[in-house]
Amino acid sequence: MQRETASVVQRKKEARAKIILGGLVYKAGLQNVNRAFLMGGLLMLAKMAPGSDQFEALRRLGQEALSGEETELPSPSKDPVNDEALA
């Protein structure tokens, strides 16, 4: 068996990361949403300050979902993300 080159190993790691991220999109029920909408949401999340109240609220919600607990998505009136914080 030949040794894999560093570029092949890197491509495999990147492919695995993409598969995992796709699984998160699927688990969240977002597989059928508009791609531009999804990208916009991800870009807004990327601007969120780690450790902020909004960040921690979303992290907790995600942790519950990943641990298999029944997670009720917040209604717009109980949204843990402050729209102003993401503007």
Looking at residue 84, its pLDDT comes to 46
Chain mean position to CA 66: 11
pLDDT above 90 as % of the chain: 70
Q: Where are the alpha helices (DSSP H) in 1-87?
A: 6-27, 35-47, 53-66, 83-86
Cα 53 to Cα 18, 24, 57, 85, distances in angstroms: 28, 22, 6, 10
Q: Which of 40, 47, 43, 75 is nearest to 61 (CA)?
A: 75
Read off the pTM. 0.64
Looking at residue 83, its pLDDT comes to 46
- How many angstroms separate the CA atoms of 84 and 87, rounded? 5
**Band of pLDDT at residue 4, cut at 50, 70 and 90:** confident
Looking at residue 2, its pLDDT comes to 64
Looking at residue 13, its pLDDT comes to 96
Rg (CA), the chain: 17
pLDDT tens-digit readout, 7-43: 999 999 999 999 999 999 999 999 999 999 999 999 9
